[in-house]
């Protein structure tokens, strides 16, 4: 078990809009109990007042300050945090640091809920935004990682819910009733744990599964 733990990457959890790292309290404890080293940070401001590219720079700075240059990481982004993480990976060099990348209920193709605010970060999460079109223009880069998108078809924050679907990587549907429950439902926790425990593999064709 000790050897297994030593071979595991640190897990970095990235929260969503209007959240703090405290939203991961259950997932963090769940992973630590099973032998992972878990890290997170508070993105500031967390309400969309700045662009997601600015928040991604905070993520990049934290990684540089916290981990040795050769340390590989596993990244888990919830909701907006998944898009912030994508910007880090696709635009700020994170592709060279991250091995496993999981998004949980992230608006990869936008959410109509974002029309409710004119804040820069919210505008970027609208369907067909310039920001998302840019990220999705070379989404194939995520195929270089062990990438998994986890989502629920009943999401009322990510509308339409299938905005969380991606043309690359693995897709897992967890049919929980509410957006925030994706971080606490035992099925979600089981999927995250199993995905992080899998050996690093060569990129695969797009796969779907459900829990």
Q: 73 and 9 in contact (C-beta within 8 Å)?
A: yes
If one counts every other C-beta atom within 10 angstroms of the C-beta of residue 21, the result is 17
**Backbone dihedral angles phi then psi of residue 147, each to the nearest 5 degrees:** -105, 135
Find out whether 157 and 17 touch, Cβ atoms under 8 Å: no
Q: Is the pLDDT of residue 3 over 80?
A: no
Residue 58 has pLDDT above 70, yes or no: yes
Helix-strand-coil percent breakdown of the chain, rounded to 5?
45, 15, 40
Phi and psi of 102, rounded to 5°? Answer: -120, 130
pLDDT for 204 equals 47
Q: Give the closest residue to 200 by CA, choosing from 99, 102, 73, 103.
A: 99
What pLDDT is stored for residue 203 in this prediction? 52
For 132-191, the pLDDT digits (tens) are: 999 999 999 999 999 999 999 999 999 999 999 999 999 999 999 999 999 999 999 999
pLDDT at 124: 98
Looking only at the bridges linking them, the beta strands covering 170-173 and 146-151 are parallel
CA–CA gap between residue 100 and residue 14 (Å, rounded): 14
> Are 106 and 77 within 8 A, CB to CB?
yes
pTM for the whole structure: 0.92
Q: Is the pLDDT of residue 66 over 70?
A: yes
DSSP state of 69: T
Q: Are strands 38-40 and 207-210 parallel, antiparallel or unpaired?
A: unpaired
CA 169 vs. chain centroid, Å, equals 13
Residue 64 confidence (pLDDT) above 50: yes
Q: What is the pLDDT of residues 24-48, one digit of tens each?
A: 999 999 999 999 999 999 999 999 9
Give dist(CA 49, CA 162) in Å, integer. Answer: 26
């Amino acid at each position: 078990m000790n050897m297994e733990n030593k071979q595991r990457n640190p897990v970095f959890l990235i929260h969503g809009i209007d959240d703090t790292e405290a939203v991961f309290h259950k997932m963090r404890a769940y992973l630590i109990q099973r032998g992972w080293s878990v890290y997170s940070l508070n993105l500031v401001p967390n309400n969309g007042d700045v662009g997601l590219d600015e928040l991604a720079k905070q993520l990049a700075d934290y990684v540089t300050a916290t981990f040795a240059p050769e340390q590989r990481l596993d990244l888990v982004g919830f909701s907006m945090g998944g898009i912030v993480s994508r910007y880090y990976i696709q635009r700020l060099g994170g592709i060279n640091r991250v091995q496993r990348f999981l998004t949980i209920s992230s608006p990869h193709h936008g959410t109509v809920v974002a029309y409710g605010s004119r804040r820069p970060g919210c505008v970027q999460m609208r369907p067909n935004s310039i920001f998302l079109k840019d990220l999705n223009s070379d989404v194939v880069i995520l195929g270089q990682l062990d990438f998994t998108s986890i989502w629920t078809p009943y999401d009322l924050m990510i509308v339409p819910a299938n905005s969380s679907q991606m043309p690359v990587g693995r897709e897992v549907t967890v049919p929980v009733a509410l957006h925030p429950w994706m971080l606490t439902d035992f099925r979600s926790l089981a999927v995250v744990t199993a995905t992080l425990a899998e050996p690093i593999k060569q990129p695969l064709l797009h796969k779907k599964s459900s829990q």
